[in-house]
Amino acid sequence: MLINEISEQIFVLKRLLTFIQLNHCVFFIVSPIHTNYNNVVNDNHFHLRARKKGATSVKKHREKQIILWVGSFLLLLILSACNSNGNTSDTQEKENEKTAQSDGQVEESATTVQYTTITGEQVEIPADPKRVVYIGQTIGDFLAMDIPVVGNNLPQDPPSYYEGKLEGIVDIGNPADLETILTLKPDLIINGYYKADPNLNEELSKITTTIPFNPALPYAERVKEMGNIVGKQEEVTQLIAKFETQSKEMFDKFQLTEGETATVFYQLGKTLYIMGDRSLGAIIYGNNGFAVPPAVQKNIIDVEGVSFLEVSEEVLPEFAGDHLFVIVQEDSESEAEADRLLQSPIWGTLPAVKKGKVYVVPNEWNTDNLLALKQLFQKLPEWMRKQ
């Protein structure tokens, strides 16, 4: 008899479990399992019936009470466990939401970075630009650093070190055609002509994020700034260290004496210029390189915003160093004028000329862009050995 009633209670509990939902624990209220004593309201009545039915009836009553207590205890255990599971589930769900929000914020912040331009303006630029338009002449830096340039005012007569490197880059004109740039859908424009045309920067900014850039800086400074723009600071550090090592090895072979000077001339048409520490001068006067003649230092390098100076033949002795590098623009007028200069009486009086330390350099090597530097450290010794 007892076994049958326990089985009935277990059946009822199983029915209760079917209404429990694991995540939210929804329960239906079930009436308690009743005895036949109407909650045992009247003790006297119970005792009277107990006397009539004897000890068997009392035992039966107690058995039912035990069954009721066990069933209630099991139900409480189920309620407690389900409630705990529900709380854990809700907590986990909230943690997942927080994690998702955090990941989203990190991803969003990583798409752009704050950058301070050379004019002091704070702008947001792409953290990893994919379509760059560069307006300037040092496109070799971008190529050497594998920056994805889609447009540039390409040179009309590309130097030899650009061979096979400019494919896929659209010529945007000189300095820049806005409609052409618009069709390229750039995500960043780097404007190296911002000083020449202040209005151009404003027009370019209507297309996409545009930042001013100074391509006339010596290559180490210029490339460091590029690294800041495109997020390649570590790569830039390695590149500069590599070129500095190559430069030292090259000049060590020259066995220069302390204070041994050099001057860089540039013949453009009928006009003769003396160059400062830009372009080829950045290599000539670099670490471990030639010393700068005092007149070049005073009149060019120390003057803000000046990177070259037009001179007449009469002042050549004042500027000429122990070695003379003559860059000649590759056109008939420049070449003819350079020939005349090299045959002139005043040129013949210079100490470097008398010692055979004059080196004529093709115009394409009047640069310090990274792509050219890879070959320039080989070319410079070749020029000097020819004399």
- Report pLDDT digits (tens) over 77-117: 555 555 554 554 555 555 555 554 544 444 444 599 999 99
Whether the pLDDT of residue 158 is over 50: the answer is yes
105 or 359, higher pLDDT: 359
CB atoms within 10 A of CB 307: 18
Q: What is the CA radius of gyration of the chain?
A: 44
Residue type at position 112: T
- Domain positions in the chain are 2-95, 122-215, 254-386
What DSSP element (H or E) covers 83? Answer: helix 55-111
Q: Select from 130, 141, 113 the least CA-distant residue to 184.
A: 130
CA 174/CA 307 separation, integer angstroms: 22
pLDDT for 33: 40
Strands 188-191, 170-171: pairing is unpaired
Mean per-residue pLDDT, 243-248: 92
The pLDDT tens digits of the residues spanning 297-322 come to 999 999 988 999 999 999 999 999 99
pLDDT for 21: 43
Residue type at position 362: P
What is the pTM for the complete model shown?
0.69
CATH number of 254-386: 3.40.50.1980
Output DSSP code: residue 291: B
pLDDT for 29: 38
Please count the helices (runs of H) and the strands (runs of E) in the chain.
Answer: 15, 12
CATH number for 122-215: choose from 3.40.50.1980, 3.40.50.2000, 3.40.120.10, 1.20.1050.10: 3.40.50.1980
Mean per-residue pLDDT, 251-274: 95
CA 59/CA 213 separation, integer angstroms: 100
Do the domains at 122-215 and 254-386 have one common CATH topology?
yes
In terms of average pLDDT, the best of 31-40, 352-361, 373-382 is 352-361
The pLDDT tens digits of the residues spanning 162-198 come to 999 999 999 999 889 999 999 999 999 999 998 888 8
